Structures are given as structure tokens and as C-alpha cells.
Amino acid sequence: MKLQALRIVITSARKFINMGALSRLWNLMKNLHAADIATVMSHFTAREKLVLFNTIYEKGKEKAAEVLSEIEPEDAAQILKELPVSEISDIFQIIPSDDVATILPLLPEEMQEAVLEEMEDKPSEDVKGLLHYEEETAGRIMSPNFYALNQDTNVSDAITAMQLEGDVESAFYLYVVDDDNRLLGVVSLRQLLFSRPNTKLKDIMTTEVISVHPETDQEEVARAVADYNLVAIPVIDSENKLIGVVTVDDVIDVIDKEATEDIYKMVSLDATDRIQDSPFSSIKKRLPFLLISCITASLAPFVVNYFKGTLQQAITLAVFMPLVAALGGIAGNQTIAIIVREIAVGQTDWLSAKKALFKEISVGIGNGVVLGAVLSLVSYFIIGNLFLGLILGLAVIVNIFVAAFLGTLIPFFLKLLHLDPALGSVNFLTMCTDTIGILVFLGLGTIFLKYIS
């Protein structure tokens, strides 16, 4: 939906909610795509969300269920909590089981069991099957519904069998298995259309199938789908048996989520922090980290305090202190951004880490020398003290070198600890470049004090 149209819908919907004009609200919503309603909802307060959902639910369960699949899982749980168990289980039988598996664990525990109890056997088993796998794995985001037929089936029987099974959402492939349900190959529906009715599946299938295991990390699943240009990827267990399929729409959600997480973690933000949250909830999320930052950011003041005597005698050093610190931070952030994205998008291991370190250090030295030289000269012409210029230049060179070194090592080191490579990296680096930059600058200043004071 265009921004202009969206804004009008949001404003009108809000007005209708406040007026209690719920049939007019429904009229506004009934022709919108569920994804658009989800976008509208994302601009609403918790209360408005609930009213909008209930209005849709009363007029059309199906539509309400679709909307629930599209909104943030946290919002969906918030809404469902207010409904009776029987209605929740009704809705859960309509929406895809991978979406249920995401929303259900966010409900209060006693509610979860009651809902699973109330649901029909098949969907309930499907959801339990998915919940069996850890969060953020292929097993959690796969769909247990897909077309799979025996290799000896012919094309015409295959079409009939698929028809009997009914419409499987976003299915573009038919998977081919042996008698033990082991994955042998894949046939696109396009191939199926173009093949003679009596051809056997095994004669038209592609046997080189890219697949993942249920334990595979969702990021790795996303990379496989992206690298091999797939629209779905089969999930097989240790015996090569087909147990699910991850579709590209879920992969895009993963890619979006991981990109947001990369940026968020670099600046130590909680992954769930959103503009729409209340200020109070965001303060609660950010404050603990900012308090930690007060401690890490106090390292630099300690260094300055140590050199108070030097500063007293050569106050000009205090003038250039922020410049040395800032340039280290700026150069280091660039290195971190490159390494974090490289780890996210590419395949990176210690072999490439070594190469990356060498590369970034070379860049750091190169840039440092040029910047250092420029700053030396400029400050010399402005202040007229050659030594101060040299000290400034040297400190900048060292600090940009340190920034390149740590900017590369911090993300790889975090990855080695099985933490997110971006986690707080920008702030940790800033602490280091602030402290080391000032230490080198004031240290050199102390050594050459008689030439600059």
C-alpha cells in the first residue's frame, strides 16, 4: 500500500476505534490485504490493536487469522492472551503451524497447554513437532506440509494425489522420496505441467537437491536459499527422511530480522526495541546497558586523571584530546561494519580472519600515516609548535592502527565465543580507542613535555 493511502487508513481507523464505529472500521478493513492490515496495526497502541483485531475476528475468522500471521509474534501473543482458549485454538488451526510455533511459546504457560489440548490432533501434533526443535533453527521455521510422492508414481497419478491432498500454501515443488520416505529428488510444478502423463517421477526429477537439517541455524538456511536462488528448501533428518520445507517468505523474514539484529547489536540495543514501544519500555531496555557504558566509558577519565600534571603544564594537549579519540572511533567503526557484514553474508572462518586482520591493519597504517601527517602539518602551522604536531600525528597513527586491529578482532572473537559478532562491538571499540588514543597522546606529551609547554 502506498504511504499516502496508508496514512489515510490509519487516521480513519483510529477515529472509528475512538468513536466505537466498528462496522465502519470493518468496512475500511475488509478489502485490505492482511499484510496491509498488519502494517496499519503496527502503528497502533495495544488497546487499538485489540479493538481492531476483535472487530475483524467477529466479521471473519479467516481474515483475522491471516492478520495474526502477518503481525509481530509479540503483538499476536498480546492480543491472543485476551481471548478464551477455545477461540485461540480455533485460530491456531487456520494459521500455518510454523507461525503457531512462534506465537504459542509467548503465551502464559498454562494457556499453552490448554490451547494444544483443545486443538485437533493433526495441527496440534504438527506444532508440538516444531516446538521440539530449538529456536532459530530450520526445525522451528519449517512447514510440515508439503507435496512428497514415491519415485515410481507417474505424472498423472502425482497430479491426482496432490489434488486430493488439497492446496498446500506456497508449494512450488513436488519432492520425490523412496519407500522409506527418504528424499531422492525434486520436481518443479512447471516440469510436472510439461511432462507426459505416464512419465515416472524418478525419470524427470532433479537429484542434486540442496537440503538442510532441522538443527541447522536459520541464518545458515537463509544463506543457502539466497546463494542457490531457491524458493523453498527441504529439511531432512539424520536418516535423510523428508520432515519439512522452509519457504522463501520465511527466509526473507529471517534475513530482515538478522540485518536488524546486526545493526542493533553493534550499538547494544535489545532486539525487540521498536519505535512503537512506549518510552518507558524502551528506557527499561536501554538503561541497564547505558549504566554498564558508564563504567566502561570511565576508563578514559582514569587515564586523563593520571596525566593531570602534564595537562596542567601543557593545556593545549587537552584541546586535541577529543580529536585523537574521535578519529580512532571513526576508523574503527568502519572496520567493524565491514567485518560484521562479511560474517553475516559470507562464509567466514579463521583463515579469512587472518587475511582480514592483515588487510585491515594495512589499511589502518596507510590511513593513519596520511591523517597523522596532515594533522601534524596543519597543527604546526596553526599553533607553531613542531613537537605538538608530531605528537598529535603519532597518536593518530597509533590509534587508527589500534582501531583497525581491534575492529577486526572483536567481531571474530565474539563469534569464537559463540556470541553474536556484532554484540556491543561499536561501544567496546569506542571505549578502547578513547582510552588508548588518550593514553598514547598524553603519554607522548609527558615524555616531550619540555618541548611543548
Judged by CB under 8 A, the chain residues 298 through 327 that form the site for a copy of itself are 298, 300-301, 304-305, 308, 311-312, 315-316, 318-323, 325-327
| By CB under 8 A, residue 190 contacts a copy of itself | yes
Nearest alpha carbon to residue 299 among 433, 424, 413: 433
Q: Which is nearer to a copy of itself, 263 or 386 (CB)?
A: 263
Q: Are 48 and 14 in contact (CB under 8 A)?
A: yes
Q: Are 213 and 204 in contact (CB under 8 A)?
A: no
Q: How far is the CB of 67 from a copy of itself (least distance, A)?
A: 13
Q: How far is the CB of 405 from a copy of itself (least distance, A)?
A: 14
* Residue that is written with C-alpha cell 537429484 in the block: 207
Distance between CA 119 and CA 138 in Å, rounded? 24
Which cell is 135 given?
Answer: 529456536
Q: Which is nearer to a copy of itself, 111 or 394 (CB)?
A: 394
Q: Which is nearer to a copy of itself, 84 or 322 (CB)?
A: 322
How many residues at the interface with a copy of itself, by CB under 8 A?
A: 120
Q: Which is nearer to a copy of itself, 151 or 170 (CB)?
A: 170
| By CB under 8 A, residue 391 contacts a copy of itself | no
Q: Look at the alpha carbons of 112, 113, 119, 120 in this order and tell me if their dihedral is positive or negative.
A: positive
- Window 23-52: residues binding a copy of itself (CB under 8 A): 33, 35-36, 38-39, 42-43
- Window 200-219: residues binding a copy of itself (CB under 8 A): 208, 210
Distance between CA 250 and CA 256 in Å, rounded? 10
- Window 337-366: residues binding a copy of itself (CB under 8 A): 337-342, 345-347, 349, 351-352, 355-356, 359-360, 362-363, 366
Selected from 91, 130, 131, 171, the binder of a copy of itself by CB under 8 A is 171
Q: Are 239 and 260 in contact (CB under 8 A)?
A: no
Q: How far is the CB of 113 from a copy of itself (least distance, A)?
A: 30
Q: How far is the CB of 428 from a copy of itself (least distance, A)?
A: 11
Beta bridge partners of 235: 212, 244
| By CB under 8 A, residue 367 contacts a copy of itself | yes
Distance between CA 442 and CA 310 in Å, rounded? 8
Q: How far is the CB of 177 from a copy of itself (least distance, A)?
A: 19
| By CB under 8 A, residue 291 contacts a copy of itself | yes
Nearest alpha carbon to residue 299 among 449, 421, 428: 428
| Non-local CB neighbours of 162 within 8 Å, separated by 6+ positions | 147, 149, 168, 174
| By CB under 8 A, residue 386 contacts a copy of itself | no
| By CB under 8 A, residue 115 contacts a copy of itself | no
| By CB under 8 A, residue 288 contacts a copy of itself | no
Selected from 21, 22, 371, 394, the binder of a copy of itself by CB under 8 A is 371
| By CB under 8 A, residue 425 contacts a copy of itself | no
Distance between CA 215 and CA 141 in Å, rounded? 11
Selected from 176, 201, 248, 440, the binder of a copy of itself by CB under 8 A is 248
Which cell is 397 given?
Answer: 597513527
Q: Which is nearer to a copy of itself, 77 or 337 (CB)?
A: 337
Distance between CA 372 and CA 366 in Å, rounded? 10
Which cell is 435 given?
Answer: 582510552
Backbone angles phi, psi at 223, to 5 degrees: -60, -40
Selected from 87, 157, 217, 273, the binder of a copy of itself by CB under 8 A is 273
- Window 220-239: residues binding a copy of itself (CB under 8 A): 225-231
For residue 306, how many C-alpha atoms fall within 13 Å in the half-sphere facing its CB? 15
Distance between CA 320 and CA 304 in Å, rounded? 13
Selected from 22, 184, 297, 373, the binder of a copy of itself by CB under 8 A is 297
Selected from 62, 197, 207, 259, the binder of a copy of itself by CB under 8 A is 259
Q: Which stretch binds a copy of itself (CB under 8 A): 15-23, 77-85, 121-129, 284-292?
A: 284-292
* Residue that is written with C-alpha cell 509481530 in the block: 72
| By CB under 8 A, residue 269 contacts a copy of itself | yes
181 sits in the region (left: phi over 0; alpha: psi -120 to 50; else beta) called left
Q: How far is the CB of 269 from a copy of itself (least distance, A)?
A: 5
Read out DSSP for 360-397? Answer: HHHHHHHHHHHHHHHHHHHHHHHH--HHHHHHHHHHHH
